[in-house]
Structure 1
Amino acid sequence: MPELPEVETVRRGLAELVNGDTIVDVQVTLPRIIRYPSVTEFVDRASGRTIRGIGRRGKYLLFDLAPYTLVSHLRMEGQYRVVPTGEPVALHSHVIFRLASGRDLRYRDVRQFGTMDLLLPDESWPSGLRALGPEPFDPSLTPAALRRSLAKRTAPVKAVLLDQTVIAGLGNIYVDEALFLSGIHPLEPANRIGPKRLIRLLAAVRDVLGRAIDAGGSSIRTYQDGYGRHGGFQIQLNVYGRTGEPCCQCGREIQRIRIGGRGTHYCPHCQRPGRTSRVAAKPEREVGR
């Protein structure tokens, strides 16, 4: 699933490509992508609207079609491409916005899990969007604020950081990388991580996300931005996807376990549990379901 760096990269590319363009018509070939309103009303609302800007909240894209907002979640493999209207339509292109500039903004989704909502400010927005925690770079997200969020969370820190109500936009790749950089074992109970290590953790989250955004995200599977370009951060990954390879810091083998159903990568030497924690895991063992 695209995480914050990938969604932010898509947002920036689309903003360069379609800001100020006007939607002439919309073609929807897979109705279930449109969650709200009906497909007919969705087409009516969007047609004739100018794209005034594109924002992001967590992993959601927010298209400003004043007075409406198009809320788009890419889910597993959703992609946007901007192409000339006459270009052949690729398979699995489920929503096509015809633009006044003679181009199409096409949404393609092989897995068909993505969603779109076209909403007025007073209409009910997706519950996942309403429940999001602070953005990782929000100045209000201080180590002290993070500590308060984790104070009663006894689950493994890896699982807690994937909870979008704690920090918006984090996913499997970047949580693994941030925990490695901060030297925190992924199975540590979240509420056992002290102030000094929380300072390191928050700094690591911001460092990893910042570098990933600069690199255009990580193309682990099928991710592309609005220009059709792949990301480049995958070559900088320290632990994610490197099971059995030597750690870049100590040379020990990177291990993989499962926490809450998610593959989790870490170095058992560089990410030792804190003195007040007791964790143990074997490679490929399922933990914390």
Structure 2
Amino acid sequence: MPELPEVETTCRGIEPHLTGKRVRGLVVRQKQLRWPVPDTLAHNITGAQIRRVTRRAKYLLIETSRGTLIIHLGMSGSLRIVDDTLAPDKHDHIDLLYGNGKLLRYTDPRRFGAWLWCEQSIDRHPLLTSLGPEPLADDFNGDYLFNKSRGRKLAIKSFIMDSHTVAGVGNIYANEALFMAGIHPLRAAGRISRARHVLLADAIQAVLRAAILQGGTTLRDFLNSEGKPGYFQQSLDVYGRTSDPCPRCGTPIRETRSSQRSTFYCPRCQH
């Protein structure tokens, strides 16, 4: 699944192409995504001017003069800027047409993404209203994590992956941040000290910034807006490295399951 850095990479990739443009039309070839594409979406957005493109958690927000288009990439979705003469392939489900002979093409083999429309304040949309702070925002820090975790028996990895705690920390980067902070992923969140929560918050931000800088992690189908895969996977310390030597101490990396997710850690460095 594209995680926050992949979504941020996509956002930065498409933003300069779309901002200020007027939508010429919307072509929906497959409406059955995670939630059905609204029947009125093409009517609502055609003719609207795109004001800006932003991200909230793993949602892409295309703000227009009439409302906001909410896009989620799901398990295998991607967005690319292509010529409007390029014929669609089997899994190219939606095209957003704009000026200069270009369009924004949505590809999603598993069809678990979403294209939704919001005319009210975007912060009040049901998908966004209960989200925690952005992990790269000023209001996310170790003190916040510590206070939020008090009395919680939930494993720390599940705790930081909960979008109500912090918005958009997915499985790959949770594993990597916990390794960087030296915290065992199954340790109860409420039993971790303030100082270690500070280390963890700093690690989350460092890992995400590094991934964004390097273009996101390639996850099977992920391609950025120029059709080029990210390459942060070459920098992963523990994720997907079962039995490989720990880059710090050489102990074999272990794999377990936490909240039905693959979880990777060093039994010596993380406690």
Residue 126 (structure 1) shift: 4.6
The corresponding residue for 1:154 is 153
* 1:120 matched to 2:119: yes
Q: Cα distance, 1:17 vs. partner? A: 2.1
Return the alpha-carbon distance in structure 2 between the equivalents of residues 196 and 79 of structure 1. 38
Secondary structure in structure 1 of the residue aligned to 2:198: helix
- What secondary structure sits across from 2:61 in the alignment? strand
Q: Is the 8 A contact 2:76 2:110 kept in 1?
A: yes
- Is the 2:215–2:231 contact (alpha carbons within 8 Å) kept by the matching residues of 1? yes
CA contact (8 A) 1:36 1:119 kept: no
The equivalent residue for 2:12 is 12
Contact 2:77 2:108 in 1 (8 A): yes
Question: 1:144: how far off?
Answer: 1.6
Q: Give the Cα–Cα distance (whole angstroms) in 2 for the partners of residues 173 and 255 of structure 1.
A: 15
Question: Where does residue 224 of structure 2 map in the other structure?
Answer: 225
Q: Which amino acid aligns with 2:164?
A: T
For the pair 1:68 / 2:67, whether they are aligned, the reply is yes
Check the 8 A contact 1:119/1:125 in 2, yes or no.
no
Q: Which residue does 1:30 correspond to in 2?
A: 30
SS in 2 for 1:136: coil
> Alpha-carbon deviation of 1:36?
7.4
Matches within 5 A, 1:1-289: 1-33=1-33, 35=35, 38-39=38-39, 41-121=40-120, 126-272=125-271
CA RMSD of aligned residues (A): 1.6
Opposite residue 98 of structure 1, the aligned amino acid is L
> SS at the partner of 1:265?
strand
- In structure 1, stretches of 5+ residues that fail to align are 273-289
- Aligned equivalents of 1:28, 1:222: Cα separation in 2: 21
Which stretches of structure 1, 4 residues or longer, exceed 4 Å deviation after superposition? 34-37, 122-126
Distance 2:129 2:263 in 1: 28
Any stretches of 5+ residues in structure 2 without a counterpart? none
Flag the 1:123–1:14 CA change in 2: closer, same or farther, 3 A.
closer
CA shift, 1:45, in A, is: 0.7
- Cα deviation, 1:83-137, whole Å, max 9, x if unaligned, reads 1111121221111112222112111100000011111115895533211100112
The normalised TM-score by structure 1 is: 0.90
Structure 1 residues 44-66: Cα deviation after superposition (integer angstroms, max 9, x where no partner):
01101122210000000000112
Match for 1:86: what amino acid? T
- Percent identity between the aligned chains? 37
Q: What SS does the corresponding residue of 1:23 show, helix, strand or coil?
A: coil
* Distance in 1, Cα, partners of 2:139 & 2:124: 24
Contact 1:21/1:101 (8 A) holds in 2: no
Change (3 A) 1:137 1:161: same
Q: CA deviation at 1:203?
A: 0.7
CA distance in 2, matches of 1:220, 1:35: 23
Q: TM-score, normalised by structure 2?
A: 0.96
CA distance in 2, matches of 1:258, 1:28: 38
Counterpart CA distance in 1 for 2:99 and 2:17 is 13
The one-letter code of the counterpart of 2:133 is P
Question: 1:30 and 1:37 mapped to 2: Cα distance?
Answer: 8
Aligned residues: 271
CA deviation map 1:30-51 (0-9, x unaligned): 1223847732x11101101122
Q: Distance in 1 between matches of 2:147 and 2:117?
A: 35
| Contact persistence 1:34–1:117 (CA under 8 A) | no
